[in-house]
Each structure stands twice: as C-alpha cells, then as structure tokens.
Chain A
Amino acid sequence: METLTIHALHDKLVRREISAVELAQKYIARKDAVEPQVQAFLSDNRENALAAAAVVDKKIAAGEDIAAMAGIPGAIKDVICVAGQNTTCGSKMLEHFKAPYNATVIEKLNALDYISLGKTNMDEFAMGSSTENSAYQITHNPWNLDCVPGGSSGGSAAAVAAGSAVWALGSDTGGSIRQPAAYCGVVGLKPTYGLVSRYGLVAYGSSLDQIGPFTTDVTDCAIVLNAIAGHDKKDSTSIPMEKKDYTKALVNDVKGLKIGIPEEFFVEGLDDTCRKALEEAIETYRKLGAEIVPVKLPHMKYGLAAYYIIAPAEASSNLARYDGVGFGFRVDGTDIVDMYRKTRTAGFGPEVRRRIMLGTYVLSSGYYDAYYLRAMKVRTLLKQDFDKALSQCDVLLTPTAPDTAFRIGQHDNDPLAMYLGDVCTVSLNLAGLPGISIPCGYKDGMPIGMQLIGAALGEETLLRVAYTFEQNRTDLRKPLPMGEVEL
C-alpha cells in the first residue's frame, strides 16, 4: 500500500473510484481513530467538510473539471482565519474568538473546493518549537507518541504524518513549518517572504511570518503552493508577480546544478546520525550529477541571537492588540491599566509573556541601539552572506534541525535550550528566503529532516532539487507511522 497523496486521490476522484463524500468519511474515521493518541486538532469541521465534498461530487457528476485540491481532506493551523470558525491561536486569550472574515489563503482554497477537517494545534501565537505551549493540549509525534511533533505548527505536521489529513497549512516565523515537518517525516515549505499573502494570518513577527504547506510528498507541496501563492492587494508586503505553475518545476534532474554546503551548519552540535544521513544525501546529489560546492556564511552563528531579538520585538508590538477590549477575553480591574494587566497576565501563557517582555525590553529606551538596532544590522550582514552564497549556487543544503524530535517535557523550564534548537531555520526568515524540509533518513526510528534553501522566489529550483532526491531515494520511503489510510 502506498501513502495517499493529493495527486493520487485526485486521480481516484476523477476516475470515480471513490466519491469525495466517501473520501471525507474515510478521513473522518481515520481522524477519529488516531486523534485520542495524537491530539493534533483543536476543532472538528466534519459537517462543513461533508457539505463541501458533496459540492465536489456534484461537479464530477456534471462532468465538470475539478481543481487538483478539490475534495482532498486537509487541515488548517489555528492561526489562520476561517470565517465563522474559532481561531484560537492555541491561546486562552482567543478561546471564543470567531474569525469575522477569511484569510486570503482560505478564499483561494475555497475557490478550489478545498476541504478542511479542522483547525490544528500549535504553540500559543506560534511561539515555540514543540507545540507544548498550546493552552489546550499536547500534540504527540505519530512516530513516537512520547516525543513532540515540533512546533509551532506541530498539529498540522502531526495530522499529515498520522494520516488524518492529506495536507495541511502551517505558518513559519523562525522554522515553524520546516522543523515540525522534519520531526514528523513529512515535506514542509516556507515560501519566500511575500509570495503567500499574510492577510488573515494572526501576526507574530510581521517581517518574518509566512504561510506554507505540509504534505507527504514534493508533488503535493507544489500543488498546495499553486493554490495559495500569489499577489494580494490586502497584504502590502505581498510581491506583485505573475502566477506560476509550480508542478512544472517537478523535474527529476539535478545535472549541472550547484548545491552549496554551508560549513557553519555542520559544526559541533549536529547529531552524528543526522550528519551521516546528510552526507549520504550530498553523495546522492553528487552521483546524480549535481556539483557540490562548499560555501561560507560567516554571520550564520549570529542568526539565532538576532532572531530572538527581532521576533520578540515585533511580537511585543503585534500582541499589544490583546487588551481586553476587542477580542473577548477580559479580566476586570480597578482601572483600565489594571484591567489590561490582569487580562494579559491571565490570557497569555508563560512563553508568550516572556517574549512580550523580552521584546519590550529590547525596544525600550536605553536598550534599543544595543539590542534591536544591532540585531537589524546583523540581519543585513546575514542576508548579504546568503546573497553571496546563492550567487555561486542554485540551492544550499543543510540540516533542518540539529537532531530528531525530543521527548515531551525535555525542555521544560529552560527556554534558551528550546530556542537553540531553531539554529538551522531562523536565518532564512531573517533573509526572507524560501526553505523546504524533506525526509533524508532515520535515527532510532525517528525521521531526520534535510533543509534546502533557495534564492528569493527560487521555489521552482527548490522543488526540483527536492523532487529529484525524493524520486531517487525510494529507499527512504516508509509507510505512515500509524499505518496507511485504507479506502
């Protein structure tokens, strides 16, 4: 049995081997079977999903063409607004918040007859690397239920790995798509900043946030990217550009392409088994005719420190809106400032409060130059490093994370240790570059992720290089850890 993909299921729908309603029912049953253990979802959208599936079946019956994603069950990270549905961001602050409008990505997916089985769990306001910071539940890694799925989009990654959704959307501010994709053995893409509209994505770090897909293969990744990419007038940071068909980039050939290996990613701290898997991946590319080029990113080692100044600074500003006035949760106080403080102290969890305080500190009078301004200058140097390396190479190849998924509770009470795990991913967000994580091996049964980094708007090359690896390393294919979905 094969892992079911968007493209395989689309063919089955078109050939009428299964109806969209039957398909939705199969996935709802699957979700019901695995959710007690995985706990990837915060909400259940089965009624809307079945209604949307019936619409797809009508179109098929009428002989109409259906979109590649039409009728294929997916899931949406609970940081993306879906009109009329709860959008909690994993926070008590938004427990009863119903989005009054659709995010642009949801409008685009609606036009393609998409189906969502529900909103997925996440670290509160996307702050975290394990999904343990959710105010609601702990999500478990389908490969080992004692391990975290990664974060902050851990619910989306776990839903796809558990087979309770064929695809999912996440958001990535410092690695929140790529790291959980690596931990859960699926494909995760953070697009170029500005390729996908952020309208309706609840803001964390506005200069860093991007929405992107989780899928089980690279072809599906291109299909979901086709659905969500494109200029949007409602997002002033959205890049004006022609629409592309990313599935055309799925070419099984890397001959003559230059793949850069930044030595700074392969230093002390990278697990030995992970290193070995990556070296084998590099060897695979070499055998397929790619040119392997050692490159240097001299400011890479400062990326994490710059990120954990810039992201909390932006967060402290963005989260000022949760003041007990507009969004439901309020704790009464003796005066308005007391109301603000009580509301925010009770409504936010400890990690969110920590980042707001950290961000407030680095922006405060007397510290702005020493921290925030300096971090923004280091960001410039880091971006120049990437620009230089990517002028010599088509893509860069690195680990997605220094190790495989850690155990639930392992980093409790040590936030800095949790941050240090983001060392491979945050720099891309600072530089605005696209990155994809694909599985490249296993350590004690847990998946290892490989990150490929492209130039700005270089998604096509990125997908081609990822696709070629996937097509040539079929030895890495394993059934879904909780068993394939049976139709």
Chain B
Amino acid sequence: MKISAEEIKKIALLSRLNVEDDQIETVGKQLNDILAYMDLLNQVDITDVQPTVHAIPLHNVMRDDVPQPSLPNEKALQNAPEPENGYFKVPKVIQD
C-alpha cells in the first residue's frame, strides 16, 4: 500500500475534504490502485530531461497598462451564498 489510512486523512485535510472513517478503506484502495499504475513511469530514463509545463510555450505576454472594463461589483457577488455590503462574507477566520 502506497497510502496509509493516516495519509488519506492528511490528504483529505490538505484538499479541504472529509473522508468518513467507513470510506477510508475504499478511497485508499482506489488511490493505491491508481498510484500503483503510475509506477510505470519509473521505467523511463528522465536523466537531463527538462519538464514541460505547457506544450505550446508563450513567453511574457504583455499589454499596455490601460484599464479595461471589468466585472461590476454586483455581478461578481451575484452567485455568492452570503454577500454583505458589497463584500463576500466568510465565517470568522481569526479565533478569539
């Protein structure tokens, strides 16, 4: 097994997801199956190979610094669950 139950819990936290205790085994098995398949990549000699982030690279896409129309405040907030006074409202972040 590549991922332990403890690691599943850690990844779930990093992913901001919950995995219920009774799901850990199933989720772990599926992720382990997939990662075992990825071992195929260990057969490849990658010495001195540069990584490709974008297949069609473009560099320094610049434009003049001229203001363009942008999304008005009310449109930016129209899908928010709890807008207030023109802002997104979130639960308290800093604890007492």
Known: A302-B41, A364-B11. A325 touches B88 (CB 8 A): yes
Give A236 to B3 CA distance when docked, in angstroms.
Answer: 37
Q: Does A415 contact B (CB under 8 A)?
A: yes
Please, which residues of chain A bring their CB within 8 A of the CB of B34?
A: 308, 358, 415-416, 419
B63–A233 CB distance below 8 A = yes
Q: Known interface pairs A305-B40, A415-B34. Does A374 touch B46 (Cβ–Cβ under 8 Å)?
A: yes
Interface string of A219-237 (1 = CB under 8 A from B): 0000000000000010011
User: Which chain A residues border B13 with CB–CB below 8 Å?
Assistant: 341
In this complex, which of A304, A353, A357, A378 has the most chain B Cβ atoms within 10 angstroms of its Cβ? A357
**Are B16 and A340 neighbours in the complex by a CB distance under 8 Å?**
yes
- The residues of A that contact B91 with a CB separation of less than 8 Å are 332-333, 335-336, 339
Question: Across the interface, do A364 and B14 meet the contact criterion of CB distance under 8 Å?
Answer: yes
- What residue of chain A has the Cβ atom nearest to residue B45's Cβ? A381
Contact residues in A for B51 (Cβ distance below 8 Å): 373, 376-377, 379-380
Contacts of A419 in B (CB 8 A): 34, 37
> For A424, what are the chain B residues with a Cβ–Cβ distance below 8 Å?
none
Whether, in the assembled complex, A345 has its beta carbon less than 8 Å from a beta carbon of chain B, the answer is: yes
Asked if B81 CB lies within 8 Å of chain A CBs, one says: yes
B80 touches A336 (CB 8 A): no
B85, CB-defined interface residue at 8 Å: no
Complex: how many Å from CA A210 to CA B78?
27
Residue in B15, B61, B81 whose CB lies within 8 Å of A356: B15
Please pick, from B33, B49, B54, the residue contacting A377 in the complex, using a CB distance under 8 A.
B49
* Complex contact B52–A98 (CB within 8 A): no
**What is the bound-complex CA distance between A415 and B37, given in angstroms?**
12
Interface residue? B1 (CB, 8 A): no
Q: Does A239 contact B (CB under 8 A)?
A: yes
Which A409-462 residues have C-beta < 8 A from chain B?
A: 415-416, 419, 430-433, 456
Residues of B contacting A433 in the complex (Cβ-Cβ under 8 angstroms): 55
Write the nearest CB–CB distance from A305 to chain B, whole angstroms: 5
* Chain B proximity mask over A260-281: 1 for CB below 8 Å, otherwise 0: 0000000000000000000000
CB-based contact B17/A432 at 8 Å: no
A335-B92 contact in complex given A237-B58, A305-B40, A357-B27, C-beta closer than 8 Å: yes
Q: Contacts of A383 on B, CB cut-off 8 Å?
A: 52, 55
Q: A341-B18, A357-B12 are in contact. Are A193 and B56 (CB under 8 A)?
A: yes
Instruction: Tell me how far the C-beta of A394 lies from the nearest C-beta in chain B, rounded to whole angstroms.
Output: 19
- Closest residue of A by beta carbon distance from B14: A360
Given A374-B41, A383-B55, A432-B56, answer yes or no on A325-B90 (Cβ-Cβ < 8 Å).
yes
Q: Are B17 and A341 in contact (CB under 8 A)?
A: yes
A237 pairs with B54, CB closer than 8 A: yes
CA distance A383 to B56 in the complex (A): 10
Contact yes or no, A354 B30, CB < 8 A: yes
- Residues of A within 8 Å of B43, CB to CB, are 302
CA distance A192 to B56 in the complex (A): 9
Q: Determine the distance from Cα of A280 to Cα of B69 in the docked complex, in whole angstroms.
A: 55
B residues less than 8 Å from A328 (CB atoms): 79-81
Contacts of A357 in B (CB 8 A): 8, 11-12, 15, 17, 27, 31
A172 to B54, CA, bound (A): 16
A194 to B80 CA separation, bound complex (whole angstroms): 31
Interchain nearest-CB distance for B37 vs A (Å)? 6
Q: Check A337 for interface membership: any CB of B closer than 8 A.
A: yes
Question: Nearest 8 pairs between A and B by C-beta?
Answer: A432-B55, A376-B51, A330-B81, A100-B75, A377-B46, A340-B16, A377-B49, A379-B52
Chosen A-B contacts, 9 in total, with CB atoms closer than 8 Å, are: A193-B56, A207-B53, A237-B58, A323-B16, A325-B88, A327-B80, A341-B12, A341-B17, A354-B30
Chain A contact residues, CB within 8 Å of chain B = 96-98, 100-101, 192-194, 207, 233, 236-237, 239, 299, 301-302, 304-306, 308-309, 316, 320, 323-330, 332-333, 335-337, 339-342, 344-345, 348, 353-354, 356-358, 360-361, 364, 371, 373-381, 383, 415-416, 419, 430-433, 456
9 extra A-B contacts, CB within 8 A, seeds A101-B71, A348-B17, A415-B33:
A194-B56, A325-B90, A328-B81, A336-B90, A336-B91, A341-B13, A374-B42, A378-B46, A379-B51
